[in-house]
Chain A
């Protein structure tokens, strides 16, 4: 499951202070939860730009192999950071197969199961390629797979758009802690995490650089008034 929400900077004026609610960082970490917030307050880089690049190239090849040439494939990214990732995967598959691969975006906000837990969120774009999804193999693309709830919402959203032949899931990072029977078909990196950590994905298209960072919940600035960089997969239930 993705970023806990859209970046705080992207949702102005819904409710004051929702920066702290959407960040997924519920106050400083619970007592006894490793690692102790404080001295180790700097994020750890778990994937650098070159590694992300390699992971995406590998996923692109896996998609081609598994779908036998990716002929009837449509890639749909889940906003915010799944969208540029879907675009890059489509580009790489297109290079190998020598033809353009349809890709777009699928906003899941209206299908979330936790809408009533926080103020109304800003919607992301839904852009389905003109050829539609009926009878295609749809590959959902997201940055982080966490509880699985985002993917469940995406499956519901797809249901209202058409009837794909099959749906598969590609994620850059699988951080574990699933709450639903959902797994990814293509994974960039399996990253064992604790619930007291936040996975932050940065992509050049929205953040100016490519990186995956791991940092403790409640790091100053991670949830404060400052606009965050990157999608965050923090703790949220």
Chain B
């Protein structure tokens, strides 16, 4: 495995399966009386979050603590970044503090890649702009594999995954397309034409504009949030119209095959891309995804930091 985890596209199928299998073993730690392993004792993990996040930051923090690493949370508010410090100077500070891993979220695509050139520790991308969010894709793949009863060593061959919504601004969609394709799933994107990236032709997936036609052919439906904060133009006439054409309501849930599941990376906008009844139904894996996130991030931290440091 690489020393960093920056993009799902950097992973080989073997790497991806190793992470999922490791997560499968580590998930059992959550059922123990003592939910802690001594493996990363004495290692320091820095959470460097330039964008708001609750789920991902807490998830990484919990994962690092369960492995006994020391965690430093670096929130941008109240830090020197607010006073105008550059990413590089921040990186050098972390380096001087001896960070073994830096978990970074940044609004600029490519920030983790730049950071990896400046620090000696491992860099883990926790979401960069509209580029990638590899640990989210890994936890989604893990959740799908578990829900469909597949065990260690097995991939996602033959499963049809439909990703719906704001693909243009979604790093989750990007990482998922690459990872799920790598693991053998058939990925389809459904979105209004305005919310699809220009170069979509090069992605290993099919594209369509009609949700109702796609649902009966889906084992997994992954709903994406409309990222209003990244929208600088009018991409659709109104939220209500978007919701009517691309929202997953209870009637559309009925069009899915019997054992299909509904996923959402969170945070949800109930009533927009997903109806409240759907989010709370037994087919929804939204809460599971959060729990699985900790196991998958433990696996990533263990595999990147648990052994001999990779050669420079």
Contacts known (A119-B308, A122-B18, A161-B32); A13 close to B37, Cβ less than 8 A: no
**Which residues of chain B have C-beta atoms less than 8 A from A13's C-beta?**
1, 12, 14-15, 18
Chain A residues near B15 (CB, 8 Å)?
13
Instruction: Please classify how large the interface on chain B is, using the bins under 10, 10 to 19, 20 to 34, 35 or more.
Output: 20 to 34
A12 touches B18 (CB 8 A): yes
Q: Is B33 a contact partner of A15 (Cβ separation < 8 A)?
A: no
Interface of B (DSSP majority class) = loop
Chain B min CB distance to A26 (Å): 15
From B32, B34, B39, B307, give the contact of A119 (CB < 8 A). B307
Q: Mark A1-20, 1 if CB is under 8 A from B, else 0.
A: 00000000000111100000
Could you say which of A116, A124, A126, A156 contacts B308, with CB atoms under 8 Å apart? A116
With beta carbons under 8 angstroms apart, the residue of B12, B18, B37 that contacts A160 is B37
Cβ of A200 to closest chain B Cβ, rounded Å: 24
**Is residue B58 within 8 Å, beta carbon to beta carbon, of the partner chain?**
no
In the complex, the chain A residue whose C-beta lies closest to that of B304 is A120
Contact call B307/A118, Cβ cutoff below 8 A: yes
Given contacts A13-B12, A125-B25, contact A118 B33 (CB under 8 A): no
Measured CB to CB, the nearest residue on chain A to B22 is: A123
Interface centre among A107, A118, A123, A160 (most CB of B within 10 A): A123
Q: Which residues of A contact B309 (CB under 8 A)?
A: 116
Verify A111–B37 contact, CB threshold 8 A. Answer: yes
Is B205 an interface residue, CB under 8 A from the partner?
no
Interface residue ranges of A115-164 to B (CB < 8 Å): 115-126, 156, 160-162
Residue B36 CB within 8 A of the other chain: yes
User: B13-41 interface mask toward A, CB cutoff 8 Å, 1 = contact, 0 = none?
Assistant: 01100100110011010001110111100
CB-defined contacts of A162 to chain B, threshold 8 Å: 33
A115 and B1 within 8 A (CB): no
Q: Mark A93-127, 1 if CB is under 8 A from B, else 0.
A: 00000000000000100110001111111111110
B32 touches A110 (CB 8 A): no
| A115, B22: Cβ atoms closer than 8 Å | no
Interface residues on A, range: 20 to 34
| Chain A residue contacts of B276, Cβ below 8 A | none
Within the assembled complex, what's the spacing in Å between the Cα atoms of A16 and B281? 45
Asked whether, in the complex, the Cβ of B1 is within 8 Å of the Cβ of A123, the reply is no
User: Nearest A residue to B28 by beta-carbon distance?
Assistant: A126
B193 to chain A, nearest CB (A): 39
CB-CB nearest in chain B for A107: B25
Contact (Cβ within 8 A) B306 A120: yes
| Residue B310 lies at the interface, judged by CB distance under 8 Å to chain A | yes
Tell which of B12, B25, B38 touches A126, judged by Cβ atoms closer than 8 Å. Answer: B25
Minimum distance in angstroms from A20 CB to a CB of chain B: 13
Give the complex CA separation of A115 and B12 in angstroms.
Answer: 23
Residue among A12, A14, A120 with most chain B CB within 10 A: A120
Residues of B within 8 A of A115 (CB): 39, 306-307
**CB-based contact A110/B39 at 8 Å:** yes
Name which residue of chain A comes closest to B303, CB basis. A120
Tell me if B178 counts as interface (CB < 8 A to partner A). no
A115 to B308, CA, bound (A): 7
Shortest Cβ distance from A21 into chain B, in angstroms? 8
Contact A110–B38 (Cβ < 8 Å): yes
Inter-subunit contact B38/A156 (CB<8 Å): yes
**Residues from chain A with Cβ under 8 Å of B26 in the complex:** 123
Partner of A15, one of B38, B39, B305, B310: B310
* A115-B39, A119-B310, A122-B18 known; A160 vs B32 contact (CB < 8 Å): yes
B142 CB–A CB distance under 8 Å? no
A22 CB → nearest B CB, Å: 11
B263 to chain A: closest CB distance in Å?
Answer: 26
Residue of B nearest to A119 (CB): B307
Specify which chain A residues have a CB less than 8 angstroms from the CB of B39 in the assembled complex. 110-111, 115
Does residue B246 face the partner (Cβ distance < 8 Å to A)?
no
Name the distance in Å between A101's Cβ and chain B's nearest Cβ: 22
Alpha-carbon separation in the docked complex, A107 to B22 (Å)? 12
1/0 contact string of B271-312 vs chain A (CB within 8 Å):
000000000000000000000000000000011111111100
Residues of A within 8 A of B34 (CB): 160-161
* 12 residue pairs bridging A and B, Cβ less than 8 Å apart: A13-B14, A13-B15, A115-B39, A116-B309, A117-B308, A119-B310, A121-B307, A123-B21, A123-B26, A156-B38, A160-B34, A161-B33
Q: A119-B307, A122-B22 provided; 9 other pairs, C-beta below 8 A?
A: A13-B18, A110-B302, A115-B307, A120-B306, A120-B307, A121-B306, A123-B21, A160-B34, A162-B33
